[in-house]
Structure formats: structure tokens, C-alpha cells
Structure 1
């Protein structure tokens, strides 16, 4: 069982054949237009945990990027990046890379702008996140920029809503996907949840999730980048896009030293 199995059932708006996903694409592009002046000009774009490459294509359109590298562990989604390029009306060099974001510096060459979009971080525990930041730092040029779309789950889930033992994750005409709490890992700081498809209570997969807050990620990022800032959803004002974590000028020596201990 794997993330590929899970994402077959989760309804996440990133398929280029989905009209709502296309609307989301243009919203993401507006965010990168809003960030003009903070982003490199005509950058080589690296889209991490990219899924179908929706965010990478939007960034490439907004910045006139000559190169777009799309990386994800789920190979079956990557080919859809070609359709996003078509929708965007652009023609950068497109590189599709199947691999682990925790090893990205070994999988790609140097880029100018890296993205991690779509509230992806619950899949990674604190040790994973240190490896991700270090690898991204090594994948960027000396003035490179790393932008993450994120939300604060400590406030949004643990405080505003409350953690749920039983949760409906997705619902369609054909099935309902639920998740059930199965435990907590003290060492990794992750909640274990098992996913089932109804009707039939068919087990889909088991996952461990970290409920990240924004401050912790900014703090970790500050170790590996000389400049960092939070851009809230109220500041950029684009519906459907969450808060942005912005990092610039990677500390490559720090990244190498940290990864040498892993």
C-alpha cells in the first residue's frame, strides 16, 4: 500500500481535465504574479512533490521560465504536466523526474526557483523535513528561492476543530473515503491513520502524518536559508491559496554538513 493508492481516492484538484482544477491553476498563477520582484527572472523552476505539475506550470507561465522540472514519487501523475503546459500556453523544456524529495539534490541539477505546493508537509516528520530543506538548498543557485504553500495545522486542526478519531476524507457518488486514528509515534511526532473505502470497509492504506505549524517550518528553513518570510493568505488575497513560506539565498555549506550526519 502506498501514496499512489491513497491519491487514487482523495479528491485533490490537480487533474488538468477537471474544470475546477483549471480554475485553481489560474489562481496559483496570480499568486506568482503577485510575488513579482521576490522571484528570480526567467528562472529554472523545480516543482517538488508536484503531483501533476499544476503549480510548476503556473509558476513557469508567470515567470517566463525556460525550464520546468517536475518531481514526484507517483509516476502516473507526472505525464499530466504536459497538459498543464498546454493549458498555460507555454513551451519550456520539461523534465519529469520520479523520485523522493528527500533526495532531490541527487536527482536534479541546479535551479533558480523551487516550489513545494499543495499543503504536502503532513507526509513528512521533522527528520524528513530537515533532509528536504537541506536537499532543496543544494538544488538551488546561490541566490535561489524556495516557496512553500502551507497552513498551520496546530491552530487550524488541534485548536479550531479538534483532532478527530474518525474523519470523512473524501466523498463521491461511488464511494466515501474515511480515515481512523491508530496511534501516535512519540519519536517521530506523527499520527498514524488507516484509510478505508466505503461501502465495504475496504482498507486502502496506512499513513503517518505530522500536524505541522508554520513557525516550526520557518525556523527549520532559517537554518538553511539566509532570508525567510511568511506571506499570509490575507496579504496575497488569492482565493484557494493558503499561506506562503518564502526562503532565499541557501546556506549550501550548512546543508552539506547536516546531510553528512544523516
Structure 2
């Protein structure tokens, strides 16, 4: 069983990463996106009026200590007319709290896995010499949006917004962006965030037509080595359980810490 302090540290790394990203988004045109970060005891409630979906409209860090704050948390999202998502980490809440959630109109909908490595080098050597990984420059940031929207099957019209919402992080302490190329052609992007010696493997995206060529694995490998070189003592990442991303991280030495239950 994973030590409680370690599971809290891993969850906190996610909270720190999302907080850093959203604080940067708040600076765009006097917070035109409507970014809000509100603390309810140990729980952090994130919301963005201008970006629908659960990625940034979610509650992290919930524990039994927030049971008396559930009314406030749900009202917070209802007042904003934003659907709520709760990310429940095993061992952080009891069945008593879980039994109360359906009273608020939510139910368990999905799972999401957190993996980690305690600062050790990948268990295999880099396998894909044909994949070149470099740091993404400001001048190349249009490629980030182009690759991201294709990788996640988003409308092409979103690519400029995706690039714009991420370029603001370029150069900020703790953030690093990567470009994967094959024969000098852009095929993938990745992001690394480091805070207090904990490195989070954030987004990694590969062009659909270029998958199964070791690009995603190469992006993981490069970010792990960069993180260790920067003094990170803990590496973590998130993926859908049993997905290719999960498998690739496991292949490079990360092991499952826990699988969160997503309620919405």
C-alpha cells in the first residue's frame, strides 16, 4: 500500500501544476477567461468559464475534513453554471463522505491513474534513435497547437487558442516544453513541470498518423532525464488506466501509485 504522505505529495504536485497554469491564464487580458481558484479546506476548486470541460473545472485534494464544506463546494460551481468534477484519491476520503455525494446529483463516472518513480533513471535505454527531442522555442509554438488539436481530435480552429494558452508558460520557472521530430518533421510535443523537486510529466501529444513509432516513449524518456538533471527526487505522471500512455510510463520505470475515481 502506498504511504499516505507519498499519495498526498503526488496529489499536491498535480494541484501545484494546475495552479501555476491557471495563475498564468489569469493574466491574459485581465482574466478574460474567467479563471478562478478557490480553497475549501484541503480541497482546491479550479474553474474556467472560458474553457469548458473537466480538465480545469475540477476539485482536487478532497478529504474527510471537507465533509462539512460539501454544500459550499457544490454551490460554488452551481453559481458559476459550470459542471463539477471531483477527483477522489483512494485513502483520502471515507465511505461516509462518498455516500453523501449522490445527494448532490453526481455519480462515479470514470477512473484516472497516477504513476510515479522515486527519482531513478529509466529502466531501459532510449530505443528510438530516429526520434529527435529538442526544447520547443517561442518561435515554434504554433506547432504546439497544431499537433495538440490533431492528437486530441479537436477542431482545427482551436489551434491558435491552444498555442496562446500555453506560450504564456514558456520561460516561467518550472515549465519546459518539448518538440519531437522525425527526419526534421514535427510529430509530437510534451510538457514538463517541476516544483519543489517533484517533476510532473504533463501533456504529451503525438500526431495520429505517426503513432506506434516510439515518439511518446521518447518524450517521456527525455523529460525524465531532464527532471533528474534538474534535481527532481520524484517523477509523476497521469494516464487512463491501461492506456498506451500508462504502458509507456510503466515501461520506463514508473509504477502505479493510485487510481483516482472521477465523480461528476
Could you tell me the TM-score, scaled by structure 1's length?
Answer: 0.26
Q: Which has the higher contact order (CA 8 A, sep 6+)?
A: 2
